[in-house]
Amino acid sequence: MTEWVSISTGAKPVPRPVATPLVWAAASGGAVLLVALLNALVGQNRPSLALAALSLLAALLGLRARFTAAPGTAVLCWFFLNGFAIPPAGTVTWAGERDTFWLTCLFTAVLLGTALARLHYARAAYRRVTTGIDAVSSTRPTRRI
């Protein structure tokens, strides 16, 4: 007869964040692909759609990144948004209010993704610790006087 047993009986460690250069490489590659796909499907005159898509990408990258990777991730996404999602393609320009808003949106998305991941991991770790404490306290024999 086969008996199924759990191999991992110990506490699970909190996942370590991905190295910052790897997050930045993923941001560059993902932003290039995303902007190219959006340009092919809807054209270049839709920067709000590109901003929303890149913000979602930034938030997803933030789920596995360190907080220190947030500024670089936001700037890389902004670079591809500014350089290739609006005409003239290939030219990076600075329009004060617009680009400040875009950078703020992208930076906020990365920070929100990272903060949500940290809260999720902290909550899961807390549950594991409190469940372990409850299990230990319930197995102790009680004294009767």
Q: Within 13 A of 130's CA, how many CA atoms are on the CB side?
A: 6
Range among 35-49, 86-100, 102-116 rated most confident: 102-116
Helices (H), ranges, 42-141 = 47-62, 70-84, 96-139
Closest to 124 (Cα-Cα) out of 18, 17, 12, 16: 12
Contact 12, 59 (CB under 8 A): no
Residues 6+ apart with CB under 8 A from 75: 103
The predicted pLDDT at position 97 comes to 95
- Report the percent of the chain where pLDDT is more than 70: 80
Residue tagged 């898509």 (tokens): 53
To the question of pTM greater than 0.75 for the whole model, the response is: yes
